[in-house]
Copies of this chain bind each other. A is one copy, B any other.
Amino acid sequence: MGLLLKNIIFQEKERDIFIRKGKIEKIGKNLNVRAKEKIDCQGRKAVLPGLINCHTHSAMVLFRGYADDLPLKKWLEEKIWPLEARLSREDVYWGTKLACLEMLKSGTTAFNEMYFFPEAQAEAVREMGLRAKIGLPLIDFLPEYRPKSIEKLYQRLKRVLDGNRLSIALAPHSIYTVSRENLIWAKDFAKKHNLPLHLHLSETEQEVEECLLKYKKRPVEFLEEIGFLGNNCLLAHSIWLSDKEIALLSKRKPHLIYNPCSNLKLGSGIFSYLKLKREGLNICLGTDSAVSNNSLDLIREIKVGSLLQKGAERSQKVLPAKEALEILTKNGARALRTGAGEIREGGPADLIFVDLEKIYFQPPINFLSSFVYSASGECVSDVICGGKIIMRERRIEGEKEIIRKSKERARGLLRNVHLNNKA
């Protein structure tokens, strides 16, 4: 029984790692254990914790490259929402699978999901073998995603989840698409069922202005007033924050999700990394959807994230490589409570292998620096999640069918829609 990884580079040394029952049982030199399966990496691969994408809308990968270069509001209202109105359960199932493929091929083993048809997502993710927080989306203008429907959805979904790799979050879309009343319902429901709350927050200046008009308060102040904020909150974007709001966040300790590519591409603004980090807040990373990025590759995402902060602060010391890796692993694991995020005996075996022979690791002076600043997700050769090998030498079971099926779904969706771009 068990899986033995031989001669893999762990923290710059060649080690063996023995995996059993989904966990890392032993790390050492020349381990003498009997294993059902062995992989000898011959010192050519490094092992890292699986990467964690804390904010995405997986199935939107079906619209990748459709409607670039528009402002957030226009882009949502005129392009994305009309398409989404046509979306079926089947679309989301295949779209989620396609996104999982892309995430696996760039080293992601867990993600925080917010999209429609959560049951279809759960089915897709379970088959792909990653971990995910499946968000139950709360959004006022869609009856099927209002509190009453969500309660039923929650009960149905709870029954089918294995509770191990998959778990549930409550995902009120934002303060501008969910009413005060429903946000209060959400925080109570989350408390009752011990769920995380996944929310878009202060992504644009406009959102803040509208909140000031409507509630006479800034978004974080409003959320504080209704008792929404807490350590179970996963707040995506969180760009437009006043000092007073930052002080409130610092008190309530939500997890903040930085989405550098999406924030740049949509011209939303720049996340105040240094200020928020100094407040002791847990900062993790998201790619957002493949429509506003347009990639789900966390390794490329953190390079942009690190460089952007150095550039914005005009200081090269900000967000160095070591911190970048923590954001990708430990911090994400803390936010999603996966228990993974580092490689330690007794911890879950969520691991990725990195191919050290890639050209951008040459010469091999500083692995961590090259992983963050030089590599792309394609350096990931193998992925293990919960002790199970999901990707082996970049091959994933069923990938051809997933690509074929998701192409069909995308074609179907875009067929009757006015396309600016060639389909």
Copy number in the complex reads: 2
CB distance from A244 to the nearest CB of B (A): 24
Measured CA separation A353–B102 after assembly (Å): 21
Cβ 8 A contact of A65, one of B62, B64, B366 = B366
Q: Does A310 contact B (CB under 8 A)?
A: yes
Residue of B nearest to A104 (CB): B359
| Contact (Cβ within 8 A) A68 B359 | no
Q: Does A182 contact B (CB under 8 A)?
A: no
Given A304-B304, A373-B295, answer yes or no on A365-B66 (Cβ-Cβ < 8 Å). Answer: yes
Which of A17-25, A164-172, A404-412 has 4 or more CB atoms under 8 Å from chain B?
A: A404-412
Q: Does A111 contact B (CB under 8 A)?
A: no
CB distance from A110 to the nearest CB of B (A): 19
| Contact (Cβ within 8 A) A267 B310 | yes
CB distance from A322 to the nearest CB of B (A): 10
Q: Does A308 contact B (CB under 8 A)?
A: yes
| Contact (Cβ within 8 A) A365 B423 | yes
| Contact (Cβ within 8 A) A71 B363 | no
| Contact (Cβ within 8 A) B320 A64 | no
Residue of B nearest to A371 (CB): B65
Interface string of A59-94 (1 = CB under 8 A from B): 001111110111100010000000000000000000
Q: Does A369 contact B (CB under 8 A)?
A: yes
Which of A38-46, A194-202, A228-236, A374-382 has 4 or more CB atoms under 8 Å from chain B?
A: A374-382
CB distance from A68 to the nearest CB of B (A): 5
5 contacts between A and B (CB under 8 A): A69-B317, A102-B360, A264-B308, A267-B311, A304-B307
